[in-house]
Each structure stands twice: as C-alpha cells, then as structure tokens.
Amino acid sequence: MTATTGTRALPGVLFLAAATVGAWVLWLGWDTEYTVDAETGASSGPYQAWQVIGCVLTLVALAALAGTRLSPWLVAPVMTVAFTAAWSWRAASTDDSGLWVIGGILVLVGMAAGSFLVSLAGRRLGRRVADRAA
C-alpha cells in the first residue's frame, strides 16, 4: 500500500471503526442486566440471543461492504480492534472475576477470523459484479 492509497483509505477506515463500535452500542452496549432463574438461581446474560444475532448480522454486512472498498487485510484489524476494545471496556468494568479476559480473547479471535473471511468474500463478490458490469 502506498502513502496515497493509505491516505485515501483513511476516511473508510475511520468510518468502519466508528460503525463497528456503533454496532456494539446499538445491539449490546446498552444491556447490562443479568437474568436469574427463580428455580435454579442460575444467572445468564446480559445479552439475549436476538441481540447477538442482530449484532453478528450487522457486523457481517459491515465487513462485506467494507471488503468491496478496502483490503481484507485492513478491514479485519480495524473491525477486530474496534469491537474487541468496546466489548472489553464494558466487560472489564462489570466483571470482578477477571474472566472477561477469556471472553475478550474469544471475541478477538472470532472477530479477526470472521471479519477477514467475510470481507474477503465481499471483495471477491464485488470484483465479480464489477467484471460482469464491464
């Protein structure tokens, strides 16, 4: 990547980082309450399945669209760092056990692999569509 290419990519990278954090805020960032089962006393949460599914689908759309404009080698680290930082910030502030670190590692690995693969697919699909249009 040349300096000119990097400069042109900067607005896209900044938008992608903000949109990734926005997805976390929109779907997960506002929910901090755990659900306690009255019979067993077991707690779960704070997220419901629909929140996680919505967040994942939003992140998939972002990665696919970003892959049509930016290199997957750029999309993956931007999305991974942005989402993992947002998730970890909240988790660290609400977890006294320290287990948030394990969750953070899992989020990091999942975001890195998922955003790379989806942005790569978006890039390939975008090129295929462009080639057919030409």
pLDDT in tens, 81-133: 999 999 999 989 888 888 899 999 999 999 999 999 999 999 999 898 888 88
Q: Are 83 and 20 a contacting pair, CB within 8 Å? A: yes
- What is the distance between the alpha carbons of residues 60 and 66, in angstroms, rounded to a whole number? 10
Instruction: Dump pLDDT digits (tens) for 22-62.
Output: 999 999 988 777 777 788 877 777 888 899 999 999 999 99
Antiparallel, parallel or unpaired: β 43-44 and 35-36: antiparallel
Whole-prediction pTM value?
0.86
